[in-house]
Amino acid sequence: MQQLQELTSVIERLSMADSFEAAAEQLTQWSRGITGCREAIVRLRARGEEQEWLAACSVAGASGAFARDESLISLSECLCGRVTAGTTNADLPFFTPGGSFCWGRMSTFAEKFSAEQTGSFRGRCVAEGYESVAIFPLKSRGRVMGSLHLADPRPDVFGEGVAPMVESVCRLAGDVLLRHREDEQERSLLDKIQCALLPMNPPPVAGLSIGVSFDSATEMARLGGDFYDVIDLGQGRVLVLVGDVCGKGLEAAGIATQTRFALQALAGGTPNPGEFLQAANRVLLARLPSGRFVTAVACLIEPETGLISISSAGHPSPLRFEDSHGSEIDAPHNPPLGLFPEASFPEASERLSSGDLLVIYTDGVSDSRCSDGEFGIDGISSVVGGVPDRDPERIASDVCAAAIDYHDSSLPADDRLVVAVRLN
């Protein structure tokens, strides 16, 4: 009787939510409260051109890194996808008869079960230190339309009766979530995907000031594959990555998320940008769908000495500003990632002085055009020269805004991403 009352109560509260975002947040907060789990993610199923994806629409209690890595995953990529696709097996101890995944000792999961039993397994929960993980299918009219992901660092937190209660709620919650307008759902998905690819606030780095700006998509069809990352490698070294996956829409964004995840995993194991991109090329050749490729630029910076090493893969070279006029760093022109197995990625090295600025951008910025021609390097330089305090945040924002204003709105537009880095 108590479980029935709880079930009725939570569905009533979800039904009273005045927006899709509020309903999704209500579900994450309730599930964290009843299970005691640290992290909860509500994901929706979303169809791309070539495959299906799970996209986060509400995230609670997760670290920034985990939220980014788990915001958009392929349905074929992990246990979350297996639950959503309905390809579970109740004969295995980590699946319930209702089609959920529930396990309380994730640190030994890969050792205890074979790859044939687990299927594709990313292991991101284990890397985050989560022991207890549960994935419940969200259903609407009998069809799985998403999932609820719960995780906690303590082992065996899903006590008797708790998991069945959450599973029961999830069987009904899909209908409640989908009552809200489709554009609300899409806006929520867009926000989480863009946070995964393009977080507004880069991590603080000693000796550097970093600003980021991008042209935000307003609809899923406009969503692109631009991404960036700032990775502290320790020993006074920082890797700044900017990349662009060819294509548009959910597919490009999904591939960009997977690419950023793969590149981040490689970053600590290679001594320089050229070798890093060569390793990335090998990984992406095996992972990218046919016809897809990624342009990227990797900048290894030593703030204490000012030394920078840069390797580019089919991407515009960064601009260096010693004064108000920028010049392109003379880095070798290498092919994009994911096309040629034998490709190599030679690099260039320079030394920055205090106050020098790097502007790294995607081609949507320089390719903005109108009847007067392209925005180009001259357009970027003119904006940077007009910012007297050389503030990277303002420079990134002003360059992105100027490229948008310059572009003829009757012409097709591309994503625009600007990362400005100043040596302090």
- Whether 95 shows a pLDDT value over 70: the answer reads yes
Query: Which one of 187, 212, 236 terminates a domain?
Result: 187
What average pLDDT does the segment 38-64 reach? 90
- Indicate whether 170 and 206 sit together in one domain: no
Q: What b/e readout covers 383-404, taking b as 16+ CB neighbours within 10 angstroms?
A: bbeebeebbbbbbbbbbbebbb
- Identify the CATH number of the domain in which residue 98 sits: 3.30.450.40
Q: Residue 240: which pLDDT band, with cuts at 50, 70 and 90?
A: very high
Distance, CA of 417 to CA of 316 (rounded, Å): 12
Instruction: Decide if pLDDT at 308 tops 80.
Output: yes
> At residue 358, does pLDDT exceed 90?
yes
First to last CA, the chain: 64
Report d(CA 295, CA 417) in Å as an integer: 13
- pLDDT surpasses 60 at 136: yes
User: Do 170 and 110 share a domain, yes or no?
Assistant: yes
State which H helix or E strand residue 88 sits in. none
At residue 168, the pLDDT reads 92
Residues 152 and 208 in one domain: no
User: Which of 187, 213, 246 is the endpoint of a domain?
Assistant: 187
35 belongs to a structural domain: yes
pLDDT-derived band of residue 106, with 50, 70 and 90 as boundaries? very high
**For residue 265, is it within any domain?**
yes
Cα distances from 301 to residues 234, 278, 313, 350, in angstroms, run: 11, 19, 18, 10
Judgement on whether residues 154 and 216 belong to the same structural domain of the protein: no
Average pLDDT over residues 354-368: 94
Same domain? 167 vs 210: no
| pLDDT in the model for residue 342 | 92
Statement to judge: residues 237 and 161 lie in one domain: no
Q: Report the alpha-carbon distance of residue 107 to residue 96 in Å, rounded.
A: 20
Q: pLDDT value at position 191?
A: 86
- Has residue 407 got a pLDDT over 90? yes
Higher-confidence residue of 324 and 135: namely 135
pLDDT value of position 159? 78
Same domain? For 294 and 397 the reply is: yes
Report DSSP state, residue 269. Answer: G
Task: Examine the pLDDT at 271 and tell me if it is beyond 80.
Answer: no
Whether residues 70 and 172 share a domain: the answer is yes
Domain that holds residue 70: 2-187
Q: Is 174 contained in some domain?
A: yes
Q: Assess whether pLDDT exceeds 90 at residue 290.
A: no
pLDDT digits (tens, 9 = 90+) for 257-270: 889 888 988 988 87
Q: pLDDT tens across 319-352, in order?
A: 999 877 789 999 999 999 999 999 999 999 999 9
pLDDT tens for residues 177-226? Answer: 988 878 888 888 888 888 888 887 888 899 999 999 998 777 887 888 99
Q: What is the pLDDT of residue 360?
A: 97
**DSSP reduced 3-state for 57:** strand
In a domain, 284, yes or no: yes
- 252 and 117 in a common domain: no
User: Does the pLDDT at position 1 exceed 70?
Assistant: no
Closest residue by Cα to residue 359 from 306, 423, 273: 423
pLDDT at 2: 61
**Could you give the angle at the alpha carbon of 288 between the alpha carbons of 348 and 255, nearest 5°?**
85
pLDDT of residue 401: 94
Mean of per-residue pLDDT scores for the chain: 91
127 token code pair: 């890397």
* 48 and 144 inside one domain: yes
pLDDT of residue 202: 86
Q: What is the mean pLDDT of residues 271-287?
A: 92
**The pLDDT value given to residue 182:** 80
CATH number of the domain bearing residue 317: 3.60.40.10
Q: Tell me whether residue 193 is in a domain.
A: no
Q: Give the separation between CA 1 and CA 157, rounded to whole angstroms.
A: 23
Confidence band, pLDDT 50/70/90 cuts, at residue 122: confident
Exposure string (b/e) for 193-226, b if CB count within 10 Å is 16 or more? bbbbbbbeebeebebbbbbbbbbebeebeebbbb
Note whether 166 and 243 are same-domain residues.
no
Count of domains forming the chain: 2
Instruction: Establish if 415 belongs to a structural domain.
Output: yes
Residues 257 and 160 in one domain: no
What is residue 183's predicted lDDT score, i.e. its pLDDT? 83
Domain boundary among 187, 211, 227: 187
pLDDT at 190: 87
Q: Is residue 192 part of a domain?
A: no
Nearest to 411 by CA among 354, 364, 378: 364
Instruction: Tell whether the model's pLDDT for residue 49 goes beyond 80.
Output: no
- Examine the pLDDT at 134 and tell me if it is beyond 80: yes
Check if the beta carbon of residue 122 is closer than 8 Å to that of residue 78.
yes
Token pair in block for residue 234:
């320790």
Query: Which run of H or E residues covers position 72?
Result: strand 72-74
Is 408 or 185 the better-scoring residue by pLDDT? 408
- The reply to whether 217 falls in a domain is yes
Task: Work out the average pLDDT over 418-423.
Answer: 96
Alpha helices in 240-304 (DSSP H): 249-266, 273-287
Nearest CA-CA partner of 367 in 332, 311, 412, 410: 412
Query: Do residues 227 and 256 make contact, with C-beta atoms less than 8 angstroms apart?
Result: yes
Q: Give every strand in the sheet of 143-152, ordered side by side.
A: 72-74, 52-60, 39-47, 143-152, 132-140, 101-103
